[in-house]
Amino acid sequence: MPDRRLLYLGLAALLCVAAFMTIGLRGNIGFVLGLRAAKLAALLQVSVSIAVSTVIFQTVTGNRILTPSIMGLDALYLFGQMLLVFLLGGMGYAALDPQFKFGGEVLVLMALATGLLLPMLRRRVDMGLMLLAGVIFGVLFRSLHSLLARLIDPNDFAVVQGASFANFNDVRTDLLVFAAVLTLVGAAIAWRARHVLDIVALGPDAATGLGVTWARTVTGLLLLVSALVAVSTALVGPVAFFGLLVVAVAERLVDTRRHAVLLPAAALTAVFILVGGQTLFQHALGNSSTLGVVIEFAGGLVFLLLLVLGSRK
């Protein structure tokens, strides 16, 4: 029963959250709890936004190997950020209100992503082509990003450099409120669209036949994905394979691709891995390694596995 599995998954995620908040509490408890709560909120948002955006992206593109980050959306976000610094200068950029800045970056990403990806998604393109285009887009944006990084002066560079690597230890807590609103609204829209997503998974022809206006629906979903990618990238930086790992695991666990089950399952799996992993690394392993590296390693393996299994079919 998928419902019971969802319940277990929820309990496991809850357990991780409780462990994260309570293990090794020392000193000024109120202060520590406050600190941990802020970090937890960020990790939860990242989990939800990565899980939901990956599920939607895979549904729209019609395959299980692509994720927004493999298609270079997070690289696009960083490029947008670097572009802002380049245009405004480091001081001007640092002086901007972070919430306002974040809002602007989200809008820029949504516009760029829609402009670039929509032509490809209008008709579902062959997966090999999508993957290739994604890799090329990713490299392009990363290269443009580093080109700009060389052009700006070192002080400005220091301002953006911190944002360019995945880091689950040092999350941006100043954006929490704004990001929380975006995540909640995004998740709510995705949940409302769960039945439409089931239909979109059937492809443009079948979906049109069943009364879904393909172009409009896909545009809306793509905007949603970009907003969610912006949230996670802004909070912890780019993570390439986490979404892939989470959705692949969740799909195995609940054994269905129906979005009413898969969306919550993916979000809970993400919470379990991210919050549970972070707890493990902080307390059991004494921060001897970083969670980001391990997640990318495991996610990379899953990616290869899916490629090998997929090519055999």
Partner 1 sequence: MIRIENVSFRHGPTNILHDISLTIPKGGITALVGPNGAGKSSLLSLISRLQTLQEGSITIDGLPVDTTPNRQLAKVIAILRQDSIVASRLRVHELVGFGRFPHGRGRLTEEDRAIVGQSLQQFDLADLADRFIETLSGGQRQRALVAMAFCQGTDYLLLDEPLNNLDMYYARELMRSLRAIADEKGKTIVIVLHDINQAGAYADRIVAMKDGRLIADGAPAELLNTDILESVFGFRMPVEVVDGKPVALHFR
Interacting residues toward partner 1 by CB under 8 A: 59, 62, 64, 194-196, 198-199, 201-206, 208-213, 251, 255-258
| Helices and strands (DSSP H and E) totals, the chain | 13, 0
- Cα angle 240, 64, 280 (rounded to 5 degrees) comes to 45
In the bound state with partner 1, the residue whose beta carbon lies nearer, of 102 and 214, is 214
201 contacts 62 by C-beta, under 8 angstroms: yes
In the bound state with partner 1, the residue whose beta carbon lies nearer, of 83 and 196, is 196
| Smallest distance from partner 1 to CB 129, Å | 15
In the bound state with partner 1, the residue whose beta carbon lies nearer, of 136 and 188, is 188
| Smallest distance from partner 1 to CB 244, Å | 16
In the bound state with partner 1, the residue whose beta carbon lies nearer, of 156 and 251, is 251
CA distance 273 to 92: 38
| Smallest distance from partner 1 to CB 262, Å | 9
**Three-state secondary structure along 47-68?**
HHHHHHHHHHHHHHHCCCCCCC
| Smallest distance from partner 1 to CB 62, Å | 7
| Smallest distance from partner 1 to CB 255, Å | 7
* Radius of gyration of the CA atoms of the chain, in A: 19
Torsion over CA of 219, 225, 228 and 230, rounded to 10 degrees? -80
In the bound state with partner 1, the residue whose beta carbon lies nearer, of 252 and 283, is 252
